[in-house]
Amino acid sequence: MNAGILRAAGGLLLVAVWVGSMAWAYEQGGQRERLEWQLKDATREAGQTKADFDAYRQETERLHGLSQIIESKLDALRNAQPKIIERYNRVVEKNPLPADCRPGPDRLRELNAAIEAANAAIASQPGQALRGIEAGDGG
């Protein structure tokens, strides 16, 4: 009877080991599936991150190009403004008006119309405007 109990105990031990190995294999299979899912998630997130980065890079390049255009236009305006002032000063120095000279009403209207036309011409250029000559400023 001792031999029968030993065989039964051995059989139960083999069944227990077999069930344990099956449970371990099942757990390993589940872990593998979880790792594969995590890998797929990480791959998808990396792809999305790359797409976001590419879009950011393209927008940055577009804005950099626009800033270069704006800077070149500002340089042109900076260079143009002193030339206008220099021409005005040259004319004033060559042909000075008498100290008691005051423009008449017709001349004042012409001057204001010219100033308004100049302001309208540069209205699309931000930060640039001509100040109008007021009646008491002289001429």
**pTM of the model as a whole:** 0.38
Helix (H) or strand (E) holding 124: none
Round to whole Å and give the CA distance between 51 and 23.
42
Of 74, 89, 70, the residue nearest 128 (C-alpha): 74
Contact predicate 132/112, CB 8 Å = yes
Question: Which tokens hold the place of 97?
Answer: 């008006």
- The radius of gyration of the chain from alpha carbons, rounded to an integer in Å, stands at 44
Long-range CB pairs of 120-127 (<8 Å, 24+ gap) are 125/73, 125/77
| pLDDT of residue 139 exceeding 70 | no
The pLDDT value recorded for residue 111 is 82
Give the pLDDT confidence of 26-61 residue by residue, as tens digits. Answer: 888 777 788 889 999 999 999 999 999 999 999 999
Domain-by-domain residue ranges, the chain? 13-97
| pLDDT of residue 92 exceeding 50 | yes
